[in-house]
Chains A and B, each alone.
Chain A
Amino acid sequence: MATTTRKKKTARKASTSGRVSAETLAKGQREISVSEFFAKNRHLLGFDNPRKALLTAVKEAVDNALDACEEAGILPEIHVRLLQKDESRFKLTIRDNGPGIVRAQIESIFGKLLYGSKFHRMKMSRGQQGIGISAAGMYGLMTTGKPVHIVSKTSRRKPPHDVVLKIDTSKNRAEVVKEKEDPKSDSLFPGGTGTQVVIELEGRYQKGRQSIDEYLEQTAIANPHAQITWITPTNETIEFPRAVDELPDEAKEIKPHPKGIELGTLIQMLERTESKSLSAFLQDEFSRVGQRKASELAKMADKLSSKTITPRSRVSQLGHAEAECLYKAIQEASIMAPPTDCLVPIGSRALLAGLLKEVQAEFFAAATRPPTVYRGNPFQMEVAIAFGGNLSSEESSRILRFANRVPLLYQQSACSSFKAVTETSWKNYGLTQPRNSLPVGPLVVLVHMASVWVPFTSESKEAIADYDEIRKEMKLALQECGRKLGTYLRRRKQMKKQSERRGIFERYIGEISTSCHAIVGTDPKKLYEALLKQATRKTREADQKLDLDGKIVSAKRLEQDDDVIILEERQVTMQEDGDEGLFDNDVVTTTKRKTRKKSKKKKKKTS
């Protein structure tokens, strides 16, 4: 929509002696386009170094693809391919099965910075500013001179259009280099619609932390409804299969909440509004303001103002001073919290499904907090944890951070979620945790923030800003998961102790029986069996005592929890052996076991 422009003074020093006239100076002053500004400040968008640039390009394209598919109600299928042309040059191809882009929009979407559908609305989506994909294209053009190649098909009946775009950085506009309708590309979109973007850019591909691989893996966790295929520069194909066959509910768009805006924004809104009266303006432009609330706000503003303000005051008559009074009134008034049905959390089940397929652990738990508000913006926190299994127990735990389903890979320690994890006392849940740092152990913590406006610390969307309300919610969710983990760990310890105890007794009973036989001739078999019977009884008694103390939550409760998944390797092998394992034997009685087997959420990893 609007092309925001910025003016910047570029003073030129006079070459000759004496003063320079205003006219001379004016010659050097000209408008600079946003594109130019960002071309010089690429680090603000996440293109600081070749490796990060590559990741950012993938990230922007995948985010856009996922957003497009979801808005169109299509289960996303995304192909990502990276071809290495020479040492530092790559060709990135990203294809989705989304709705496609109508021809007329292509230039604007891919060629203009700050063009998008997402900036001006209050709706939960991955992209926010409308900078991402065009910036990636621009980066490619700048580093390799190659234009962006887009193929898009919007309907089964129409052939795909094939456009090659070049961005003019000085004009913030795209130039079409080549254009054709190409039925040959139909094979790219078996679903009938979709978009493919090819960007050639400079970069460096490297696996490990903060890599494309990690990004896609985490995207797969937070988007279990997406199917992602990734072909690496070494021509390896990695599939991230779909784990959930349902699309997340569509997020509703909401109007801004009065408490969420600043004075400047309020003045701007007053200038732009089409409403005539103050009352109408408040009701039309904001959420949670009805007729009564509008009158109340006007009344409060009137008290603060020298000029009379009534609900029927003309908006056009309100000056700067009145706007300030109105702003103060809004801050003082109590206004109902914004609606939260605009938020679509991933959901505990989907989170667990996502973690389950990408993380090889033995214990999984998830918690979704009810929605709340920071600065008038509704948001919702979700946390999931995975523990044990193949995770490393020596290192400190890993945090997977997400904002509106987008993985955040950089600036972990600046992120609110990092602070929330370190401030949570994991010792209470049976983990070791050095002072002011992450807990140590085979633990993966996933933190997801869903909001209509995620407060990032910078444009490159790397860390969530540290608002108290946000951190508090994160901690509450972390604690909920932590408690479940604690319960599980105590139970596991208890079970280990119990089997150890039985083991000890059983081991020594044999020796005792034979010794007694040797000394006084007691039948060793009889004695062994009698002692064994006692040993079994004794261990069971000890366990029950612990149950009654309430220290050990019964196994059933944890297993009936929908937000918990336990993969018990031991359990699996024992059932395969046809052996009645210690675990089964003790925790549930036979009749109960049958019913439990049906509901058991024992999912083996498919791949």
Chain B
Amino acid sequence: MAKKKTTKKSAKKTVRKTKKTSKVRGGAVSKQRDKKTIGKIEALATSVAKSGLAQREPKIEIPIRSVSNMKYNAKKRILEMGSSTQQRELFNVGQARKFMQMLLVSKGCKDLIQAEKTLSLRGMYYMTLHTIEGTSEKTFNEQSESDTILEDLEVTIDGLREELHVFAKKRGTMVGNITVIDNGDEIDCRRMGTGGYAIPSICEPSVIQFKNCDADFILHVEKDTVWSRFNEDRFWEKHNCILTEGSGQPPRGVRRLLHRMHMELGIPVYCLLDCDPWGHYIYSVIKQGSINLAFESQRMAIPDAKFIGIRAEDYDRCKLSNDVKIALNERDITRAKQIMEYPWFAEKRPWKKEIKTMLGNGFKMEVESLITKDISYVSEVYVPQRLADGDFLD
């Protein structure tokens, strides 16, 4: 049955030439990888079916994705997932539904891989969505439910979302002195106009390859608004760099691309983020990996990433006006204290000092606050100065 499907699909594909060539190029690798992923999914289903038939309780062992099961690897300077797992049982009132959902998503992913197609998270939600026979209950009530199950499946079978042919909504933009090949299409990031190149959700080598890159460094900014400022000022051209943006907490695609550019092209990454706990955590995610997806740190973390700013001291240093202050609320304060306690922050004095200064100030600042000095103050004075001074937080 599976074979039939494949032939049908490939017949369709001949219509689109470029796509086919790309498939041919990355084909050998991805085919082999897909086979491996399907094998893992099948192993999962087999174990459930076997224990079911043998009158044993079907269980799935899932590595725990929470702070408790996460370790900071001081040597590698990244977050890693620990070895604790949890049992997901069918015959447990609280877990039965999730157990069922897990098998549905497994089935969905297998079908997807066999069809050699990819789907968005939302697409996957719809693919596995139906009403359970004889009831009015839906298999999933909302997309967030299937998203979590998919993450569970990733860690369980030790296969990444990309390997399961699922991608997230596109988020993040890039522009700069680099040419990439995206699914066979050559994209010159020097000629992206005001919009920039939308960073895809899947940035695996099978999809994206780097062609030529002259950039000296990567400047990653928090949001689109700041990115536009830099792009309009042709900052990347003047300073010969790559300019990226992750719309807040950068999605996996952006982080993977940054990681690959940093590792494969050997260029440093600088981050320009808000002076608040949120900005600090974004930096932490880029640098060490996120707690929720600690299993992916290996492929995404950039331990050498540097924090340019903005920093708590900038209020006095740049003589900013009183108006840019945003008072820290209670949640900010607890979060800041939490972050300060994270081992990868705790061992760094400058960082401790930075957070303490912010708490002492009692206010946070956005990157945009620099606009009060001058429209292009951030791109023409602030960042160049920091870069020249080599004044970063690490």
Contacts and interface: CB of A to CB of B under 8 A. Distances in A.
A501 B45 contact: no
A320 interface: no
Contacts of B137: 507
B229 interface: no
Contacts of B190: none
A511 interface: yes
Contacts of B132: 507-508, 510-511
Contacts of B254: none
A505 B42 contact: no
A104 interface: no
Contacts of A511: 100, 103-104, 132, 139
A89 to B, nearest CB: 60
A1 B103 CA distance: 91
A508 B48 contact: no
B21 interface: no
Nearest to B105: A515
A214 B163 CA distance: 74
Interface in B13-63: 41-42, 44-46, 48-49, 52-53, 55, 57-58
Contacts of B263: none
A519 B53 contact: no
B49 A520 contact: yes
B230 interface: no
Given A508-B99, A508-B100, A520-B45, A531 B107 contact: no
B104 A515 contact: yes
Contacts of B100: 508, 511-512, 515
A535 B90 CA distance: 9
A504 B49 contact: no
Given A507-B132, A515-B103, A538-B91, A530 B55 contact: yes
Given A505-B91, A510-B133, A538-B91, A526 B53 contact: yes
Contacts of A516: 45, 48-49, 52, 103
A526 B139 CA distance: 22
B107 to A, nearest CB: 4
Interface string B81-97: 00000000011010011
A531 B90 CA distance: 9
Interface string A492-535: 00000000110011011111100110111010001100110111
Contacts of A531: 52, 58, 90
B322 interface: no
A518 B256 CA distance: 33
Contacts of B49: 516, 520, 522, 527
A527 B106 contact: no
Contacts of A512: 48, 52, 58, 90, 99-100, 103
A527 B52 contact: yes
A500 B44 CA distance: 28
B1 to A, nearest CB: 9
Contacts of A504: 93, 96-97
Contacts of A538: 57, 91
Interface string A248-290: 0000000000000000000000000000000000000000000
B134 A534 contact: no
Contacts of B107: 515, 518-519
Interface residues of A, number: 24
B330 to A, nearest CB: 34
Interface string B125-157: 000000011110101000000000000000000
B86 to A, nearest CB: 19
Contacts of A508: 90, 96-97, 99-100, 132
Given A508-B99, A510-B133, A519 B90 contact: no
Contacts of B57: 534, 538
A514 to B, nearest CB: 8
Contacts of A500: 93
B45 A519 contact: yes
Residue among A504, A516, A527, A534 having the largest count of chain B Cβ atoms under 10 Å: A516
Given A512-B90, A530-B52, A520 B42 contact: yes
Nearest to B91: A538
A538 B55 CA distance: 11
Contacts of B96: 504-505, 508
A519 B1 CA distance: 11
A516 B42 CA distance: 9
A534 B55 contact: yes
Given A510-B132, A511-B100, A511-B104, A520 B46 contact: yes
B99 A535 contact: no
A500 B41 CA distance: 30
Contacts of B134: 507, 510
B364 interface: no
A519 B49 CA distance: 10
Nearest to B89: A538
A522 B52 CA distance: 11
A519 B52 contact: no
B110 interface: yes
A522 to B, nearest CB: 4
Contacts of B133: 510
A420 to B, nearest CB: 40
Contacts of A501: 93
Nearest to B94: A504
Interface in A533-573: 533-535, 538
Contacts of A527: 49, 52-53
Contacts of B48: 512, 516
Contacts of A507: 132, 134-135, 137
A287 B136 CA distance: 73
Nearest to A528: B52
A377 B61 CA distance: 72
B11 to A, nearest CB: 23
Residue among A504, A509, A538 having the largest count of chain B Cβ atoms under 10 Å: A504
A14 B200 CA distance: 114
Nearest to A508: B100
A510 B90 CA distance: 12
Nearest to A533: B55
A48 to B, nearest CB: 57
Nearest to B103: A515
A210 to B, nearest CB: 46
Interface string A440-461: 0000000000000000000000
A510 B104 CA distance: 11
Residue among A512, A519, A526, A530 having the largest count of chain B Cβ atoms under 10 Å: A519
A533 B45 CA distance: 19
A582 B218 CA distance: 67
Contacts of A535: 91
Interface of B: 41-42, 44-46, 48-49, 52-53, 55, 57-58, 90-91, 93, 96-97, 99-100, 103-104, 106-107, 110-111, 132-135, 137, 139
Given A508-B97, A527-B52, 12 more contacts: A504-B97, A505-B96, A507-B132, A508-B99, A512-B52, A512-B90, A512-B100, A515-B106, A515-B107, A516-B48, A522-B45, A527-B49
Interface of A: 500-501, 504-505, 507-512, 515-516, 518-520, 522, 526-527, 530-531, 533-535, 538
21 contacts: A500-B93, A504-B97, A505-B90, A507-B132, A508-B96, A510-B133, A511-B103, A511-B104, A512-B52, A512-B58, A512-B99, A512-B103, A515-B45, A519-B44, A519-B106, A519-B110, A520-B42, A530-B53, A531-B52, A533-B55, A534-B55
> 4 closest Cβ contacts across the A-B interface?
A519-B45, A508-B100, A515-B103, A522-B49
